[in-house]
Structure 1
Amino acid sequence: MPDDDFTPLPDPRRRADPLKGRGTATRLAHRFDTRDRVSDGEAPVFMEDGDAELPPPRTEVTPEQARSILTHNDSPDIPFSQALNPYRGCEHGCIYCYARPTHSYLNLSPGLDFETRLVAKVNAAERLSAALQKPAYVCSPINLGSATDVYQPIEREWRLTRAVLEVLGACHHPFTLVTKSAGVLRDLDLLARAAERQLGYVMVSITTLDGRLSRSLEPRAAAPWARLDAVRQLAAAGVPVGVNVAPIIPFLNEPEIERIVEAAAQAGAHAIHHTIVRLPWEVNPLFQEWLDHHVPERAARIMARIREMRGGRDHDADFRTRMKGQGVWAELIRQRVRGAAARHGLGHGGPQLDVSAFDPTLLKPMAPSDSAPQGSLF
């Protein structure tokens, strides 16, 4: 089996100083490319003869007419069999995001491009409606946000997630949703209606309660207090909501486990979930660069503990251990999460969603979607 670790040859010239509001300033070459380029956000940087100047990054959004919208998996460690992502890339810029390598398939960098060069699947609702009406379709909960945050900042203008929720609501289809954005509250009406029918479950990821750490680790995600407020308002509206203490990074946010669980319980969360940080492919060098910039005094210690939980490697793709890790320290973290949840009366699973109410005949024909009227550059 090929090794999916990806570590370019070290070259200090290829490092870029952090950019305010971005997870990384590095346009790391993806695993199918041969070049690295960086931008420091101020002066252009030339990495080799003939390279063009790299201007300060802006968020660009390209509309796409998707041919299909549902993805499927049979991984035993993933609690859903189908997922929907209305966007490619994510403006939140979380440096640890395991989905960064997906940008390689667009011939874009999993580094800065992943958070600045986004794709909006403008016909997501239309494609979903068509998929649900196929005679062979078998209903099972659809996860929204497995590879991109469905409430990242651009959702305010494009509203693709809301359109998808409207389709699901119209035919009584169950769904789960994961986000680290308070923008989820904009669709509270649809989520509350789904909850009344046992059709929806929302998970809010809270990585840290430290606003300063959050601003560098996940720069354009909602502040920790805003996420807790979202949990509070969702729970008050009757929406079952869980909190993901994720990803847990040793010696960084790991000391906060008990405090995050306590805050989640006080906000009204129903359940607690957790994962250990994963560093597949290009995430590994980007994450280690972030450590060197932001916590150099702890960088070696953090990576050493990650390797202890990954069988001596930076990353372990084995589905039996990739989410939770292995060994003494992984088990200790699991016990701490479970113990904290038990002290506050929180469970570890979501509610049983109703698949029996699904009725595709309730769906109406949808007109073909065009590009959003506000344009493609923000």
Structure 2
Amino acid sequence: MKPTGLVTGAVASAPVLSIGLIFALMQQPAGSEPASAVCAAAVSAAVDGNTAVEGYSAEQLKNAAAIINAGERLDLPARGQMISVMVALGESGLRVLDHGDGPGPDSRGLFQQRDNGAWGSYEDRMDPAVSATNFIRALQRVDGWELLEPTLAANRVQRNADPYHYEKFWPASVKIVEAISDEDISLEGSGCGVIGSAGVGDDLPWKDAPTWRQVGVNDASTSPLGLYNRECVDFALWRVNQQLGSTSAPFRLHNSTFRPDGKNLGSALTWKDGWNAKGWPTGSTPRAGAIVWYAPGTGGADPTFGHVAVVKEVRDDGTFIEEGYNGNPAPNNHTYYTRTVNNAAPNAFLYLPAQEEKK
């Protein structure tokens, strides 16, 4: 049975068929379980004289283990443990500091916790296990922290001036936790949502499935997401599901269930309306993992349906790397592509839950 709203013919309810997208440029979801329920479970860690992670001392690894084990005692998913280590990296370099800084002269310890009554005594703040426990409890009180980008989740607790301060420490945190945990874990493929994570290339599970042009409009031409196989919207919704930790059927987000008003997410033309109906944010700044939305006829997009793609990487020169499907002329129109795009080219960027526009 054909998914609701996918009618015969290339009409408005069908996914966009944007061919020849050529740029003259500078080159918790409804019906789903909480993200914490699908993330890799809490892990424990132990370090000794033989434990080594390139670039980090024995003292730093011992402190990282104390943080990880505090998380394990509080049943914090592995991604939360990584966020905790990331914050300690960003605040103290994983060292128990007995001094503060200009904004916080009374800050102390791994997490540079203030002497304001919220973080316990001086001894508590200087104790790796106790200070980590207090940080983790505060993180767990942040509503929806599991769906936030790691740096934004951290900022909800730390309240530092730059919410993206911790972003650069995330890769190192993942590396350390994966290296010293007692379990053989990997964040990649763990089922744990990572909003803002970059794609890994042409990983659409049904990238060889027949298109509607090959077999006609029937069940064989629609993907598990309820969209025509290998259209731009099909790949974009796959990336959104991936970032929410949903990588196999039944997917969290589907063409027919995305919008709370019962309408289909539909073609690229209606995606911005779909985002608005769901109450998800939009903006004009590219963010890794955000959906790139082109109105019909913009930048070479299809004049009827427009086009959607995904921000793969944001560059410092005012451009970003876009990835998607169906952005090239035949015979490569239903295949994966990447291209460099000027920030001003798309009409909007559609962000995932709690993904804020970077100012």
TM bucket, shorter chain: under 0.3
Q: Normalising to structure 2: TM-score of the pair?
A: 0.25
Q: Which has the higher strand share?
A: 1
Q: Normalising to structure 1: TM-score of the pair?
A: 0.24
**Pair member with larger Rg:** 2
